[in-house]
Amino acid sequence: MDILWQYQFRIILLGDSTVGKSSLLKRFTDGVYSDVADPTVGVDFYARSLEIEPGVKIKLQLWDTAGQERFRSITTSYYRNSVGGLLVFDLTSRKAFEHVREWHREVAEHVKPHHMVFILIGHKSDLARERQVPREEAEKLAAALGVRYVETSAKNNSNVDRAFETLTRDIYQLMKAGDIVTRDGWDGVKSGFNAKILYPPEPEAQESKCQC
C-alpha cells in the first residue's frame, strides 16, 4: 500500500553524462552505491517521500535524464512537467561545470510560463585530489543563477539527503506563498487524496456561556 502523501513534486536531474546523476538518485531512494553504473538511456524514474514538516508528506517523483546530446529531444519533453531541477556537475570536470549554464538556459526556455526551482549540485566531493572546480567558483555561479549550492558525494553519502530536502523545502515554501500553484494539465505539482490545507480556516469563535 502506498504511503499517503499530501503533495507530489516532479523533480528532474540535469547535467552532462557521467556526472553521477543516477548514483545520486540510487543513494537517495535506495540507500545504495555502486562504482559500476550503466548509462541512462532517455529517462529513468525514481521515487521517495519526505515529511517536510509534521503532518506534511511530499512524494518526490524523480526523473533521471540522459546527458548525451542524442537523447536531448526525448528529455526536453519532460521539462514542462517538472517543478524543480537539480543542475548536477562533476567537481573533477571543468567541462561539465562549464555546461551548467547551457542546461539551465535550455530548461528555462521550455518551462515558461510556470515557475521552476533549481539547486546547483557539485558532485563527487569525495575525489578531493582530482578536484578542478573550487567551491568559491561554484558558489559564484550559483549566485549568478539565483540558486542554492550544495556539494555532494553519493559514494560517501555526503549531503545527498540535504540536497533533495533543500530543493523540496524551497518548492513547498513557494507553494505556501502562492508563487507555485497546482493547475489542470500540469503535473509538476499534484495534490494527494489527503491534502493538508496550507491555510486552515480560522476556528469559529465559541459562544460565551453565561454562568449566571
CATH number for position 143: 3.40.50.300
3-state secondary structure of 45: strand
pTM exceeds 0.85, yes or no: no
The DSSP call for residue 71 is: G
Is 167 part of any domain?
yes
Is 207 part of any domain?
no
Q: How many domains does one find in the chain?
A: 1
Is 196 part of any domain?
no
**Confidence class for position 191, pLDDT limits 50, 70, 90:** confident
Is 38 part of any domain?
yes
Mean pLDDT of 81-86: 91
Is 62 part of any domain?
yes
Is 117 part of any domain?
yes
Is 21 part of any domain?
yes
Q: Which residue range is the domain that position 183 belongs to?
A: 7-191
pLDDT value, residue 70: 42
Beta strands (DSSP E) in the chain are 7-14, 43-53, 56-65, 84-90, 117-123, 148-152, 189-191
Is 133 part of any domain?
yes
pLDDT digits (tens, 9 = 90+) for 131-183: 999 999 999 999 999 999 999 999 999 999 999 999 999 999 999 999 988 87
Of 53-67, 132-146, 181-195, the range with the lowest mean pLDDT is: 181-195
